[in-house]
Amino acid sequence: MSAIGRLALLRELYGTVTIPSAVWQEVVEQGQGRSGAIEVETACQEGWIEVRAVAASPLLQLLKRDLDDGEAEVIALAIELDAQIVLLDESEARRVADLYKLRKTGVIGVLMRAKREDRIDSLQVELDRLRVGAGFHIQDDLYHKALIAVGESKKPIN
């Protein structure tokens, strides 16, 4: 979301957002100078993004076997906090979240909701910004299904 200048949508749609320390390190510290780093840091200073340390646990160690540190901590923290929803985009992380029966969405889901709630003008513009500007991989089938779902396209692509 921050890579396309739409981090504020998370605040509008969810109020406050909690991220684990590994995500902070990845996005802000290691991502210093990259698109989105300043936005996440500012959101933390404003208080609507909260950084939380994840308790060291056997579950966290297990998750780190198959996922990167950020994804593992997101899932462990979601379980620890009994989170209402978790934001994940990587397919393996989403599969693992399903095992723990976590309610999840991804960047595309957030943008679709924003379009349905008239918080953005065009889903297609935002998806194109994700693809081109942020280098976010979106399969063509998913791209077209998302546009159809929000009424921006009526013709399915074969």
Structural domain boundaries of the chain?
A: 2-107, 108-149
In percent, the amount of the chain with pLDDT more than 90 equals 85
Position 37, amino acid: A
Contact 4, 126 (CB under 8 A): yes
**pLDDT value of residue 155:** 63
Q: Residue 28: exposed, middle, or buried by beta-carbon count in 10 A (0-12, 13-18, 19+)?
A: buried
Contact 141, 16 (CB under 8 A): no
**pLDDT value of residue 150:** 96
115-156 pLDDT, tens digit each: 999 999 999 999 999 999 888 999 999 999 999 999 998 665
- The residues, any chain, with a CB within 8 Å of residue 101's CB and separated by 6 or more, are none
Mean pLDDT score across all residues of the chain: 93
42-63 pLDDT, tens digit each: 999 999 999 999 999 999 999 9
Q: Which residues of 40-68 are buried (b: 16+ CB within 10 A; e: fewer)?
A: bbebbeeebbeeeebeeeebbeebeeebe
DSSP class of residue 4?
Answer: G
**pLDDT value of residue 115:** 97
Q: Which CATH class is domain 2-107?
A: alpha beta
96-108 pLDDT, tens digit each: 999 999 999 999 9
